Chains A and B, each alone.
Chain A
Amino acid sequence: MLGVLRRKVACQGAHAWGLEQGLRVIASRALSSSAKETMTVRDALNSALDEEMSADPKVFVMGEEVGEYQGAYKITKGLLNKYGPERVLDTPITEAGFAGIGVGAAYYGLKPVIEFMTFNFSMQAIDHIINSAAKSNYMSSGQISVPIVFRGPNGAAAGVGAQHSQCYAAWFGACPGLKVLTPYSSEDARGLLKAAIRDPDPVVFLENELLYGESFPVSAEVLDSSFCLPIGKAKIEREGKDVTITAFSKMVGYALQAADILAKEGFSAEVINLRSIRPLDRAAINASVRKTNRLVTVEEGFPQHGVGAEICASVLEDSFEYLDAAVERISGADVPMPYAANLERMAVPQVEDIVRAAKRTCYRSTALAATA
């Protein structure tokens, strides 16, 4: 499917759908201030891009299929029509090329938003992201800042195999010089993308393909064009007192479902939506663990050197005496993602895995094999 998407398809007569949607939302807001609006993550991202491009002429979008095709996942729909080909650039197929060009443009002072069709392809550009974008401010002793945003879907979709399913949060999260964000809801998507574009440092913005179509309620504040979320602050999605569950991106939804199931069985789980992998909100995580005394970390990516490993280390260092049980890490299987549906299901965390892990932290008295 992605092979089809990568072929450039001329799309005539596209209209600024994102803008219309925004207008409709604002209009209905005026009529009834108490009605809860909902917005898909896709629209949230689109409207955030639209508003930031409108506010700052230095912001421009670049990537494969972002213009005429309206975006491989329609995140950039309508932008070409509204801002023209100078600010929405369709590129030849070269991640190294357009990442490099984006970095160069950022060096000079523009604010590129570079889209990778999936972060799996960002590996072809990783030298530019790490050696150039992340390190330039430091190496040039502050002379060259790189206000660039690299965004795109990250992690597993459905049935796309090993080279389209890896989660890169841990890899990018390891690099000083980068900021790494992982939105979950539409509010996250809008607020964090705006923050990322406005930030003078290079930001890796990890979205999730399966979340694009999901709708979330958004308040009037979120819909305002000046809305912005702070980078480096996690969100307590659900308060609880028995066990802390940390998650990011799609896994937040799973963690919330697990919390519902646990609640029915008498466990009160606190779900933390990390929102920011680097900087990691260690304060929030530790504060929560000091309250609940138990921790389950959840991520889609590979277990070794994952985000969960860093969270474990942080909690051990800062809140050791508060732990009443060993930390549980739920992660993807330590294999390249298989394609067959049954195998794929076995390779990614499921809600039941989270539920069982949470229960284990609550009952646990003997060492168990580290399987979910």
Chain B
Amino acid sequence: MGSWLARSRNIQYLLKRNICFFDKTHSLLHANSSYKTLPPYETPHGFCASVLSFRRSESTMAGKQAQADDDDGNQSIEFPGGRVGFTTEMDFISEVTDKRVPCYRLLDDDGFLISGTTFEQPDRETAARMYESMLSLQIMDTIFYEAQRQGRLSFYLTSTGEEAINIATAAALSPDDIILPQYREPGILLWRGFSMEEFASQCFGTKDGRGKGRQMPVHYGSNSHNFFTVSSPIATQLPQAAGVAYSLKMDGKEACAVAFTGDGGTSEGDFHAGMNFAAVMEAPVLFICRNNGWAISTPISQQFRSDGVVVKGQAYGIRSIRVDGNDALAVYSAIRAAREMVVREQKPVLVEALTYRVGHHSTSDDSTKYRSVSEIEQWRSTGNPMTRFRNWVLANGWWTDEHETELRGTIRKQVLKAIQVAEKTHKPPLEDLFSDVYDKTPSNLQEQEKSLRETINKYKQDFPADVPL
């Protein structure tokens, strides 16, 4: 207080008083963000916290009060980006906060609606379809995984434990929204109508389906479902999503780009570029991070030291929320709200969905080598997304156990049949080796194809009999 009095004697200081009303009221205007409540502070002389200390309040060191007291509030500088107030207190923004950003959920661990919540709930038809799709995804994953183990497939990766993220997100989006997946989001294709036969065709690289045997399993892609072909390098889809979104914006379409990544993907340079760019260009991208705790064998603690991924949004000027990824209802609700913001305001939003990768990273991985079986089992049972959502639809009378048993049987048969058929279907013909390198097959490739055919015909014994010519 003494220092304040000394300052107030300074005429210059009085003349340059800058009355800005960045007080507690202002902070409440940002209520739709996931800021936790600001610590109360006094404003004895009516001056306000500067923008700087307002932002700092979230990470203030414990016990620090009286924000108004520790900066002049008068002197400030019009710096590119906005006015910055000054302070004589040397306060470092803490690298960790006392409280982590809370996680939005609607169903408790057992699937009972937490009382007092208001949310946009899916109708009966949508909810039943959501559960059915989650079931299909789970069964499809189990059987395809087994097929790989049996040597019938070269590779597969499951979305076990992340069924809610897959399906609830798909249900909450519009079919016009363009998906740029990482690789653990086949549920979106499932929801949009990709059949078991099509999944099997891609995985087995047959001549049917649209893949022409070009990509390894689970690298699905379908223009007609607005689902961009999966690309293996991590996080490359993030700046690309900003580009797609920018194109949508230029077209004036009422749709957004939706880009997925895992926790590991946020370490890539492309994450920074994609987020930053989307914010600067005001591109309508919905960034969804599936934080499932593991990037192959790298746990979160070795991936980043921030409070997860949600806090990174603010660093780029992107609105963000943390949601319980194993709560299908919460995911549905949050994604619907986020999508609305993205399309209406034409700016990016980040959603971090907390979940757990129950399965191994892929069939090339044995995760028991780097994590305990008990940890895996614990997540498989407690807070399992399937169980929680099932209990909710059951409680609403929208589902029965009999229906489930029957459905499980049907889906299982469907998947098995699709695999059996795909296994026997011919692989793509020789011309698919050379097509689509360019828009039009160039002369050198036409020559190579011709030359290859001649060689095969001449030395039939050296080539497999099942290569359709």
Interface residue ranges, A against B (CB under 8 Å)? 86, 89, 91-92, 94, 96-110, 112, 127-128, 131-132, 136-145, 176-177, 179, 199-201, 232, 279, 282
Q: Which residues of A contact B219 (CB under 8 A)?
A: 139
Within B107-143, the residues touching A (CB, 8 Å) are none
Q: Across the two chains, which residue of chain A brings its CB closest to B241?
A: A104
Q: Which 7 A-B pairs have the closest CB atoms?
A: A104-B243, A97-B273, A100-B239, A104-B240, A105-B243, A101-B243, A141-B212
Q: Which residues of B contact A92 (CB under 8 A)?
A: 273, 276-277, 280
Q: Could you list 14 A-B pairs, sorted by A, with CB under 8 Å?
A: A101-B281, A103-B243, A104-B180, A110-B250, A127-B236, A131-B236, A139-B215, A139-B221, A140-B436, A141-B214, A143-B223, A144-B223, A144-B228, A201-B438
Asked whether A142 lies within 8 Å of B236 as measured between CB atoms, the reply is no
Q: Which one of A97, A109, A143, A201 lies within 8 Å of B439 (CB-CB)? A: A201
Q: Which residues of B contact A199 (CB under 8 A)?
A: 439
Asked whether B214 lies within 8 Å of A108 as measured between CB atoms, the reply is no
Interchain pairs with CB closer than 8 A, number = 147
Q: Which residues of B contact A104 (CB under 8 A)?
A: 180, 237, 239-247, 257
Q: How far is the CA of A101 from the CA of B178 in the complex (A)?
A: 15
Number of interface residues of B (CB under 8 A): 49
Q: How far is the CA of A279 from the CA of B243 in the complex (A)?
A: 28
Q: Which residues of B contact A138 (CB under 8 A)?
A: 214, 436-437
Q: Across the two chains, which residue of chain A brings its CB closest to B259?
A: A104
Asked whether A140 lies within 8 Å of B221 as measured between CB atoms, the reply is yes
Q: Which residues of B contact A127 (CB under 8 A)?
A: 233, 236
Known: A92-B280, A100-B239, A104-B244. A137 touches B250 (CB 8 A): no
Q: Across the two chains, which residue of chain A brings its CB closest to B432?
A: A141
In the complex, whether B210 has a CB less than 8 A from a CB of chain A is yes
Q: How far is the CA of A101 from the CA of B231 in the complex (A)?
A: 15
Q: Which one of A108, A144, A201, A279 lies within 8 Å of B247 (CB-CB)? A: A108
In the complex, whether B59 has a CB less than 8 A from a CB of chain A is no
| A57 vs chain B, min Cβ distance (A) | 9
In the complex, whether B248 has a CB less than 8 A from a CB of chain A is yes
- B249-273, CB under 8 A of A: which get 1 and which 0? 0100000010000000000011011
Q: Which residues of A contact B250 (CB under 8 A)?
A: 86, 110
Q: Which one of A91, A99, A136 lies within 8 Å of B229 (CB-CB)? A: A136
Asked whether A232 lies within 8 Å of B276 as measured between CB atoms, the reply is no
| A231 vs chain B, min Cβ distance (A) | 10
Q: How far is the CA of A100 from the CA of B273 in the complex (A)?
A: 9
Q: Which one of A86, A103, A109, A143 lies within 8 Å of B240 (CB-CB)? A: A103
Q: Which residues of A contact B247 (CB under 8 A)?
A: 104-105, 108-110
Q: How far is the CA of A102 from the CA of B250 in the complex (A)?
A: 14
In the complex, whether B274 has a CB less than 8 A from a CB of chain A is yes
Asked whether B276 lies within 8 Å of A97 as measured between CB atoms, the reply is yes
Within B266-319, the residues touching A (CB, 8 Å) are 269-270, 272-274, 276-277, 280-281
| B253 vs chain A, min Cβ distance (A) | 10
Q: Which residues of B contact A132 (CB under 8 A)?
A: 231, 233, 236, 240
Q: Across the two chains, which residue of chain A brings its CB closest to B211?
A: A141
Apart from the given pairs A97-B274, A109-B247, A140-B228, 6 other A-B contacts in the complex at a CB distance below 8 Å: A94-B269, A112-B243, A131-B231, A141-B432, A142-B435, A279-B444
Q: Across the two chains, which residue of chain A brings its CB closest to B209?
A: A141
Q: How far is the CA of A106 from the CA of B238 in the complex (A)?
A: 14
Q: Which residues of A contact B215 (CB under 8 A)?
A: 139
Q: Across the two chains, which residue of chain A brings its CB closest to B435?
A: A142
| A134 vs chain B, min Cβ distance (A) | 9
Asked whether B233 lies within 8 Å of A131 as measured between CB atoms, the reply is yes
Q: Across the two chains, which residue of chain B brings its CB closest to A141?
A: B212
Q: Which residues of A contact B457 (CB under 8 A)?
A: none
Q: Which residues of A contact B233 (CB under 8 A)?
A: 127, 131-132
In the complex, whether B442 has a CB less than 8 A from a CB of chain A is yes
Q: How far is the CA of A145 from the CA of B435 in the complex (A)?
A: 13
Q: Across the two chains, which residue of chain A brings its CB closest to B215?
A: A139
| B60 vs chain A, min Cβ distance (A) | 30
In the complex, whether B27 has a CB less than 8 A from a CB of chain A is no
Asked whether B277 lies within 8 Å of A91 as measured between CB atoms, the reply is yes
| A157 vs chain B, min Cβ distance (A) | 27
Known: A91-B277, A200-B439, A201-B439. A108 touches B243 (CB 8 A): yes
Q: Which residues of B contact A99 (CB under 8 A)?
A: 239
Asked whether A105 lies within 8 Å of B221 as measured between CB atoms, the reply is no
Q: How far is the CA of A106 from the CA of B231 in the complex (A)?
A: 16
